[in-house]
Amino acid sequence: MAGCCGSEVKFDGLSAAFKRVLWAVIAINGTMFLVELSAGMLAGSQALKADALDFLGDTVTYSISLFVIGMPLVWRSRAALFKGLSLGLMGLWVLGSTLYQILLLGVPRAELMGAIGFLALAANLASVLLLLKYREGDANVRSVWLCSRNDAIGNVAVILAASGVWAMETAWPDLIVAAVMAGLFFWSAVQVVRQARGELRTAALPAE
């Protein structure tokens, strides 16, 4: 992975090819948010709902990334900082809703969890492949890669949770996966915020 705040110049997203990739990934994630949120409600799955929230977060952050391309470093870094803080807030939401689900003790529908998990994984693998060559950019570009990577990992986790729910007939595998995904949100937020702060410090230095 790229350094958090190195002094070397990093790709800033200013290319027609990257913009086309962002538009495609925005469409994929927006569609999957609606599909997975609906499925999560039908299945009573907290892991599906958490993953749907990740799709929504990605749709918003990718749109912000697209908007600030070409702007000065300070604005791109501020956008990345906002996205990093948003990832942290999503992690808090997932943790809170997971605790709520534990109190309800409802068992989700494993078969629907698994089917939607595979569909979401296919969508996210497509996004990851599209963004793979742009993963070492500045904080704004890198945050896009991290969000996509989180989605793919989250989908594998949802599939594993569905298998656990089916085998054990308990909601605990689903809840554990949701908690792990919350931790992934927090870790990605730390990486993005750290790199964005480093770039903000660089942007504040007087030009030589």
Domain ranges, ordered by start, for the chain: 16-201
Higher pLDDT, 173 or 37: 37
Q: Residue 4 — pLDDT band, cuts 50, 70, 90?
A: very low
CATH architecture of 16-201: Up-down Bundle (1.20)
Whole-number pLDDT of residue 57: 76
- pTM here? 0.64
Whole-number pLDDT of residue 169: 67
Whole-number pLDDT of residue 26: 93
pLDDT tens digit string along 120-151? 888 888 988 888 887 777 777 777 777 777 77
**Is the Cβ–Cβ distance between 175 and 148 less than 8 Å?**
no
User: What mean pLDDT is reported for the chain?
Assistant: 75
